[in-house]
Amino acid sequence: MHKNISRHDGCTVTGALTVTTFLRDSATIVHGPKGCCHQAVSVLHSSMLYNECFDIPDIFSSAMDEKNIIFGGEDSLNDAIKEALDEDFRCIFIIGTCISDTIGDDIESVCAGFNEKDSVPVIPINASGFLGGSFEDGFISALKGASEIIGENCNFSDKYSDECQIKPLVNIIGEKNLEYEVDANFSEIKRLLNLLGADVNLRFIRNITFDDIQNFNCASLNIIREDTTGDIKRHFEKLTNIPCISSYPYGISNTLEFLKEAGEYLNINPDLAIKHEINYQKEMFESFSDLRGEKISFDSFGFQKADSNLFTEIARHTGIVLDSDGVTIPIPFFTPVGTGGVFHMLSQWRRFING
Protein backbone atom coordinates (compact mmCIF):
# COMPACT_ATOMS: atom_id res chain seq x y z
CA MET A 1 0.00 0.00 0.00
CA HIS A 2 1.27 3.45 -0.82
CA LYS A 3 1.43 6.01 1.91
CA ASN A 4 -1.71 7.98 1.70
CA ILE A 5 -3.77 9.63 4.34
CA SER A 6 -6.02 11.55 2.01
CA ARG A 7 -9.23 12.23 3.85
CA HIS A 8 -12.63 11.28 2.57
CA ASP A 9 -14.36 11.27 5.89
CA GLY A 10 -15.24 14.08 8.21
CA CYS A 11 -17.68 16.90 7.97
CA THR A 12 -18.35 19.63 5.44
CA VAL A 13 -15.92 21.96 7.20
CA THR A 14 -12.84 19.90 6.34
CA GLY A 15 -14.14 19.25 2.83
CA ALA A 16 -14.66 22.97 2.23
CA LEU A 17 -11.28 23.87 3.72
CA THR A 18 -9.53 21.61 1.21
CA VAL A 19 -10.79 23.98 -1.49
CA THR A 20 -10.76 27.46 0.04
CA THR A 21 -7.32 27.24 1.65
CA PHE A 22 -5.70 26.56 -1.73
CA LEU A 23 -6.59 30.02 -3.00
CA ARG A 24 -3.28 31.50 -1.90
CA ASP A 25 -4.24 35.11 -1.18
CA SER A 26 -7.50 34.33 0.57
CA ALA A 27 -8.44 33.65 4.19
CA THR A 28 -11.07 31.27 5.52
CA ILE A 29 -13.12 31.83 8.65
CA VAL A 30 -14.69 28.82 10.33
CA HIS A 31 -17.80 30.17 12.05
CA GLY A 32 -18.10 27.96 15.09
CA PRO A 33 -16.38 27.11 18.36
CA LYS A 34 -12.59 27.16 18.50
CA GLY A 35 -12.46 23.42 19.08
CA CYS A 36 -14.50 22.72 15.98
CA CYS A 37 -12.11 24.81 13.89
CA HIS A 38 -9.08 23.22 15.55
CA GLN A 39 -10.33 19.72 14.80
CA ALA A 40 -10.96 20.42 11.13
CA VAL A 41 -7.72 22.32 10.66
CA SER A 42 -5.72 19.58 12.39
CA VAL A 43 -7.02 16.99 9.95
CA LEU A 44 -6.34 19.31 7.03
CA HIS A 45 -2.88 20.29 8.16
CA SER A 46 -1.66 16.82 9.05
CA SER A 47 -2.88 15.51 5.69
CA MET A 48 -1.17 18.38 3.91
CA LEU A 49 2.13 17.76 5.73
CA TYR A 50 2.00 14.07 4.89
CA ASN A 51 1.56 14.99 1.26
CA GLU A 52 4.56 17.32 1.47
CA CYS A 53 2.53 20.50 1.42
CA PHE A 54 4.19 22.70 4.01
CA ASP A 55 2.20 25.91 3.65
CA ILE A 56 0.24 26.96 6.69
CA PRO A 57 -3.16 28.11 5.45
CA ASP A 58 -4.75 31.32 6.68
CA ILE A 59 -7.67 30.11 8.76
CA PHE A 60 -9.54 32.13 11.39
CA SER A 61 -12.16 31.00 13.87
CA SER A 62 -15.06 33.14 15.02
CA ALA A 63 -14.55 31.28 18.33
CA MET A 64 -18.18 30.93 19.32
CA ASP A 65 -18.70 30.41 23.04
CA GLU A 66 -21.74 29.80 25.19
CA LYS A 67 -22.64 33.48 25.05
CA ASN A 68 -22.73 33.31 21.25
CA ILE A 69 -24.84 30.18 21.36
CA ILE A 70 -27.42 31.86 23.57
CA PHE A 71 -27.47 35.28 21.91
CA GLY A 72 -26.41 34.29 18.39
CA GLY A 73 -22.95 34.29 16.88
CA GLU A 74 -23.39 36.83 14.11
CA ASP A 75 -21.55 39.56 16.05
CA SER A 76 -18.56 37.27 16.58
CA LEU A 77 -18.52 36.43 12.90
CA ASN A 78 -18.69 40.11 12.11
CA ASP A 79 -15.66 40.74 14.33
CA ALA A 80 -13.72 37.85 12.81
CA ILE A 81 -14.39 39.14 9.29
CA LYS A 82 -13.24 42.63 10.28
CA GLU A 83 -10.05 41.14 11.73
CA ALA A 84 -9.40 39.19 8.55
CA LEU A 85 -10.09 42.26 6.43
CA ASP A 86 -7.38 44.14 8.31
CA GLU A 87 -4.86 41.86 6.64
CA ASP A 88 -4.05 41.90 3.00
CA PHE A 89 -6.34 39.16 1.71
CA ARG A 90 -8.06 39.40 -1.65
CA CYS A 91 -11.05 37.35 -0.59
CA ILE A 92 -12.58 35.88 2.59
CA PHE A 93 -14.50 32.60 2.73
CA ILE A 94 -16.91 31.83 5.57
CA ILE A 95 -17.61 28.22 6.50
CA GLY A 96 -20.46 27.54 8.93
CA THR A 97 -20.53 24.66 11.42
CA CYS A 98 -23.17 22.51 13.12
CA ILE A 99 -23.31 24.98 15.99
CA SER A 100 -23.92 28.13 13.96
CA ASP A 101 -26.43 26.28 11.81
CA THR A 102 -28.33 24.82 14.76
CA ILE A 103 -28.92 28.20 16.37
CA GLY A 104 -29.75 29.71 12.98
CA ASP A 105 -27.03 32.29 12.43
CA ASP A 106 -27.61 33.98 9.10
CA ILE A 107 -24.14 33.83 7.59
CA GLU A 108 -25.31 35.01 4.18
CA SER A 109 -26.66 38.29 5.49
CA VAL A 110 -23.54 38.95 7.55
CA CYS A 111 -21.49 38.45 4.36
CA ALA A 112 -23.92 40.59 2.36
CA GLY A 113 -23.35 43.44 4.82
CA PHE A 114 -19.63 43.41 4.01
CA ASN A 115 -20.08 42.94 0.30
CA GLU A 116 -22.14 46.13 0.15
CA LYS A 117 -19.32 48.28 1.45
CA ASP A 118 -16.04 46.41 0.99
CA SER A 119 -14.19 45.69 -2.17
CA VAL A 120 -12.87 42.39 -0.85
CA PRO A 121 -15.50 39.72 -1.48
CA VAL A 122 -16.73 37.87 1.61
CA ILE A 123 -18.10 34.58 0.36
CA PRO A 124 -20.36 32.29 2.40
CA ILE A 125 -19.89 28.57 1.82
CA ASN A 126 -22.96 26.45 2.40
CA ALA A 127 -21.48 24.02 4.92
CA SER A 128 -23.14 23.57 8.36
CA GLY A 129 -20.70 20.95 9.60
CA PHE A 130 -22.05 17.43 10.01
CA LEU A 131 -25.58 18.85 9.71
CA GLY A 132 -24.74 19.91 6.18
CA GLY A 133 -23.57 16.47 5.15
CA SER A 134 -20.24 14.88 4.39
CA PHE A 135 -16.70 15.89 3.48
CA GLU A 136 -17.71 15.68 -0.19
CA ASP A 137 -20.73 17.96 0.30
CA GLY A 138 -18.47 20.59 1.85
CA PHE A 139 -15.98 20.18 -0.98
CA ILE A 140 -18.68 20.71 -3.64
CA SER A 141 -20.20 23.66 -1.77
CA ALA A 142 -16.79 25.32 -1.55
CA LEU A 143 -16.18 24.89 -5.28
CA LYS A 144 -19.56 26.45 -5.97
CA GLY A 145 -18.93 29.26 -3.48
CA ALA A 146 -15.51 30.05 -4.91
CA SER A 147 -17.00 30.13 -8.40
CA GLU A 148 -18.68 33.39 -7.40
CA ILE A 149 -15.32 35.04 -8.02
CA ILE A 150 -15.59 34.14 -11.70
CA GLY A 151 -18.42 36.62 -12.03
CA GLU A 152 -21.85 36.46 -13.52
CA ASN A 153 -21.27 37.62 -17.09
CA CYS A 154 -19.27 34.70 -18.33
CA ASN A 155 -19.02 34.18 -22.00
CA PHE A 156 -15.76 32.62 -23.03
CA SER A 157 -16.11 33.41 -26.70
CA ASP A 158 -16.01 37.13 -26.00
CA LYS A 159 -13.09 37.00 -23.66
CA TYR A 160 -10.40 35.04 -25.43
CA SER A 161 -6.99 36.32 -24.49
CA ASP A 162 -4.04 36.30 -26.90
CA GLU A 163 -2.87 33.03 -25.41
CA CYS A 164 -6.26 31.43 -25.98
CA GLN A 165 -5.99 32.22 -29.65
CA ILE A 166 -2.62 30.44 -29.96
CA LYS A 167 -3.83 27.19 -28.45
CA PRO A 168 -7.01 26.05 -26.74
CA LEU A 169 -6.94 26.15 -22.96
CA VAL A 170 -8.59 23.95 -20.37
CA ASN A 171 -9.60 24.54 -16.74
CA ILE A 172 -9.03 21.76 -14.24
CA ILE A 173 -11.77 21.83 -11.60
CA GLY A 174 -11.95 20.22 -8.19
CA GLU A 175 -8.56 18.61 -7.78
CA LYS A 176 -8.44 16.61 -4.56
CA ASN A 177 -5.88 18.68 -2.75
CA LEU A 178 -5.34 16.08 -0.03
CA GLU A 179 -4.80 13.29 -2.56
CA TYR A 180 -1.23 12.02 -2.50
CA GLU A 181 -1.07 11.76 -6.30
CA VAL A 182 -2.66 15.14 -6.96
CA ASP A 183 0.30 16.59 -8.86
CA ALA A 184 1.12 13.34 -10.67
CA ASN A 185 -2.48 13.15 -11.83
CA PHE A 186 -2.37 16.75 -12.95
CA SER A 187 0.82 16.14 -14.93
CA GLU A 188 -0.84 13.22 -16.65
CA ILE A 189 -3.85 15.31 -17.70
CA LYS A 190 -1.53 18.10 -18.87
CA ARG A 191 0.48 15.55 -20.91
CA LEU A 192 -2.68 14.28 -22.59
CA LEU A 193 -3.89 17.81 -23.32
CA ASN A 194 -0.47 18.70 -24.77
CA LEU A 195 -0.79 15.68 -27.09
CA LEU A 196 -3.89 17.35 -28.48
CA GLY A 197 -2.07 20.67 -28.80
CA ALA A 198 -4.00 22.18 -25.89
CA ASP A 199 -2.83 23.33 -22.47
CA VAL A 200 -4.03 24.04 -18.94
CA ASN A 201 -5.46 27.46 -18.23
CA LEU A 202 -6.31 27.32 -14.54
CA ARG A 203 -6.31 24.86 -11.68
CA PHE A 204 -9.54 25.69 -9.84
CA ILE A 205 -8.52 25.61 -6.99
CA ARG A 206 -4.95 24.55 -6.35
CA ASN A 207 -2.32 27.06 -5.36
CA ILE A 208 -3.69 29.86 -7.47
CA THR A 209 -4.39 33.51 -6.73
CA PHE A 210 -7.55 35.55 -6.78
CA ASP A 211 -6.45 37.29 -9.99
CA ASP A 212 -5.79 33.94 -11.70
CA ILE A 213 -9.51 33.20 -11.39
CA GLN A 214 -10.28 36.25 -13.50
CA ASN A 215 -8.82 34.29 -16.44
CA PHE A 216 -11.28 31.43 -15.93
CA ASN A 217 -13.18 32.30 -19.09
CA CYS A 218 -10.11 32.00 -21.30
CA ALA A 219 -10.70 28.25 -21.32
CA SER A 220 -12.87 26.48 -23.84
CA LEU A 221 -13.22 23.27 -21.83
CA ASN A 222 -13.54 22.39 -18.13
CA ILE A 223 -12.29 19.05 -16.84
CA ILE A 224 -13.55 17.98 -13.42
CA ARG A 225 -11.40 15.68 -11.32
CA GLU A 226 -14.41 13.58 -10.29
CA ASP A 227 -18.09 14.40 -10.17
CA THR A 228 -20.02 11.53 -8.66
CA THR A 229 -23.25 13.49 -8.26
CA GLY A 230 -23.11 15.49 -11.51
CA ASP A 231 -23.58 18.59 -9.37
CA ILE A 232 -20.24 20.22 -10.22
CA LYS A 233 -20.75 19.81 -13.98
CA ARG A 234 -24.25 21.25 -13.86
CA HIS A 235 -23.10 24.21 -11.81
CA PHE A 236 -20.14 25.19 -13.98
CA GLU A 237 -21.97 24.63 -17.26
CA LYS A 238 -24.76 26.91 -16.11
CA LEU A 239 -22.35 29.51 -14.77
CA THR A 240 -19.86 29.71 -17.61
CA ASN A 241 -21.28 28.16 -20.78
CA ILE A 242 -17.98 26.28 -21.04
CA PRO A 243 -18.50 22.57 -21.79
CA CYS A 244 -17.43 20.08 -19.13
CA ILE A 245 -15.85 16.64 -19.02
CA SER A 246 -16.92 15.29 -15.67
CA SER A 247 -14.04 12.99 -14.80
CA TYR A 248 -10.32 12.39 -15.23
CA PRO A 249 -9.67 9.40 -17.54
CA TYR A 250 -9.18 6.03 -15.82
CA GLY A 251 -7.12 3.18 -17.24
CA ILE A 252 -6.40 2.23 -20.85
CA SER A 253 -9.38 2.51 -23.18
CA ASN A 254 -10.96 5.28 -21.13
CA THR A 255 -7.81 7.39 -21.65
CA LEU A 256 -8.19 7.07 -25.42
CA GLU A 257 -11.88 7.96 -25.16
CA PHE A 258 -10.90 10.98 -23.09
CA LEU A 259 -8.60 12.20 -25.88
CA LYS A 260 -11.42 11.78 -28.35
CA GLU A 261 -13.97 13.59 -26.20
CA ALA A 262 -11.62 16.45 -25.33
CA GLY A 263 -10.65 16.77 -29.00
CA GLU A 264 -14.30 17.09 -29.98
CA TYR A 265 -14.95 19.82 -27.42
CA LEU A 266 -11.76 21.67 -28.44
CA ASN A 267 -12.40 21.31 -32.18
CA ILE A 268 -9.17 19.37 -32.59
CA ASN A 269 -8.83 16.18 -34.60
CA PRO A 270 -7.68 13.70 -31.91
CA ASP A 271 -6.46 10.97 -34.32
CA LEU A 272 -2.79 11.85 -34.05
CA ALA A 273 -2.90 12.13 -30.28
CA ILE A 274 -4.76 8.81 -29.98
CA LYS A 275 -2.26 7.10 -32.27
CA HIS A 276 0.61 8.45 -30.19
CA GLU A 277 -1.04 7.34 -26.96
CA ILE A 278 -1.72 3.81 -28.26
CA ASN A 279 1.99 3.45 -29.06
CA TYR A 280 2.88 4.86 -25.65
CA GLN A 281 0.58 2.35 -23.96
CA LYS A 282 2.11 -0.52 -25.97
CA GLU A 283 5.60 0.56 -24.87
CA MET A 284 4.43 0.82 -21.31
CA PHE A 285 2.98 -2.72 -21.32
CA GLU A 286 6.16 -3.97 -23.00
CA SER A 287 8.14 -2.66 -20.04
CA PHE A 288 6.10 -5.04 -17.86
CA SER A 289 6.68 -8.07 -20.11
CA ASP A 290 8.31 -9.87 -17.15
CA LEU A 291 4.82 -10.14 -15.60
CA ARG A 292 3.34 -12.13 -18.49
CA GLY A 293 1.78 -15.39 -17.34
CA GLU A 294 1.85 -14.38 -13.66
CA LYS A 295 -1.30 -15.20 -11.69
CA ILE A 296 -3.08 -12.60 -9.55
CA SER A 297 -6.40 -12.01 -7.78
CA PHE A 298 -7.86 -8.72 -6.57
CA ASP A 299 -8.68 -7.84 -2.99
CA SER A 300 -10.94 -4.90 -2.37
CA PHE A 301 -10.83 -5.42 1.40
CA GLY A 302 -14.58 -5.69 1.36
CA PHE A 303 -15.18 -1.97 1.55
CA GLN A 304 -14.11 -0.54 -1.78
CA LYS A 305 -16.26 -0.67 -4.82
CA ALA A 306 -13.79 -1.78 -7.43
CA ASP A 307 -14.35 -1.31 -11.13
CA SER A 308 -13.17 -4.81 -11.93
CA ASN A 309 -13.50 -4.31 -15.72
CA LEU A 310 -10.83 -1.64 -15.60
CA PHE A 311 -8.37 -3.80 -13.66
CA THR A 312 -9.19 -6.87 -15.74
CA GLU A 313 -8.42 -4.87 -18.88
CA ILE A 314 -5.04 -3.79 -17.50
CA ALA A 315 -4.20 -7.40 -16.51
CA ARG A 316 -5.15 -8.65 -19.99
CA HIS A 317 -3.01 -6.04 -21.74
CA THR A 318 -0.05 -6.97 -19.55
CA GLY A 319 -0.56 -10.70 -20.11
CA ILE A 320 -1.32 -11.36 -16.44
CA VAL A 321 -3.69 -14.24 -15.66
CA LEU A 322 -6.55 -13.78 -13.21
CA ASP A 323 -6.67 -16.75 -10.88
CA SER A 324 -8.23 -16.99 -7.43
CA ASP A 325 -5.07 -18.76 -6.20
CA GLY A 326 -2.83 -16.03 -7.60
CA VAL A 327 -0.98 -13.32 -5.69
CA THR A 328 -3.41 -11.04 -3.93
CA ILE A 329 -3.30 -7.52 -5.30
CA PRO A 330 -4.98 -4.79 -3.26
CA ILE A 331 -7.26 -2.56 -5.27
CA PRO A 332 -5.88 0.98 -4.91
CA PHE A 333 -8.02 3.49 -3.07
CA PHE A 334 -7.85 5.82 -6.05
CA THR A 335 -8.36 4.46 -9.54
CA PRO A 336 -5.26 5.10 -11.70
CA VAL A 337 -5.52 8.24 -13.80
CA GLY A 338 -4.48 7.97 -17.45
CA THR A 339 -1.76 5.76 -18.84
CA GLY A 340 0.69 7.21 -16.30
CA GLY A 341 -1.52 6.04 -13.45
CA VAL A 342 -1.60 2.53 -14.94
CA PHE A 343 2.22 2.56 -15.13
CA HIS A 344 2.48 3.37 -11.41
CA MET A 345 -0.11 0.76 -10.53
CA LEU A 346 1.64 -1.96 -12.54
CA SER A 347 4.89 -1.09 -10.75
CA GLN A 348 3.06 -1.81 -7.50
CA TRP A 349 1.65 -5.07 -8.88
CA ARG A 350 5.17 -6.09 -9.80
CA ARG A 351 6.28 -5.42 -6.25
CA PHE A 352 3.51 -7.67 -4.92
CA ILE A 353 4.15 -10.40 -7.49
CA ASN A 354 7.91 -10.43 -6.94
CA GLY A 355 7.58 -9.91 -3.20
Partner 1 sequence: MKQIALYGKGGIGKSTTSANLSAALSEKSLDILQIGCDPKHDSTRMLMHGQWIPTVLDLVREKGEGNITTEDVVFSGYNNIRCVEAGGPEPGVGCAGRGIIATFQLLEKLDALYGDVIVYDVLGDVVCGGFAMPMREGYAREVYLVTSGDFMALYAANNICKAIARLSKRSKPCCTLGGVICNSQNIEGELGLVSEFAEKINSELTGFIPRSQIVRVSEVNKKTVLEYAPESEQADVYRKLAEKIMNTNPDPDKKPTPLSMDELETLAQKYIKA
Give residues in contact with partner 1 (CB under 8 A).
66-74, 102-104
**Residues 248 and 219 sit within 8 Å (Cβ to Cβ):** no
Nearer to partner 1, 105 or 179 (CB): 105
Query: Shortest distance, CB of residue 109 to partner 1, whole angstroms?
Result: 12
CB of 103 to partner 1, least distance (A): 5
In angstroms, what is the minimal distance from the CB of 118 to partner 1? 24
**Residues 6 or more apart from 286 whose CB is under 8 A from it?**
none
Which residue, 101 or 137, has its beta carbon nearer to partner 1?
101
User: Is the preceding omega at residue 205 within 30 degrees of 0, hence cis?
Assistant: yes
14 Cβ neighbours under 8 A, 6+ residues apart:
7, 40, 43, 44, 135, 138
Helix or strand run (H / E) with residue 350: helix 338-354
Exposure on the CB side of residue 203, measured as CA atoms within 13 A: 19
Q: Output 67 or 234, the one with its CB closest to partner 1.
A: 67
Of 106 and 226, CB closest to partner 1: 106
Dihedral of CA 229/14/141/235: which sign?
negative
Shortest Cβ distance from residue 42 to partner 1 (Å)? Answer: 26
Shortest Å, Cβ 71 to partner 1: 5
Instruction: Give the residue with the Cβ less far from partner 1, 104 or 355.
Output: 104
CA 21 from centroid of its chain's CA atoms: 12
Q: Name the minimum Å distance from CB 68 to partner 1.
A: 8
Rounded to 5 degrees, φ, ψ at 324 are: -60, -20
Query: For residues 72 and 319, which CB has a smaller minimum distance to partner 1 in the complex?
Result: 72
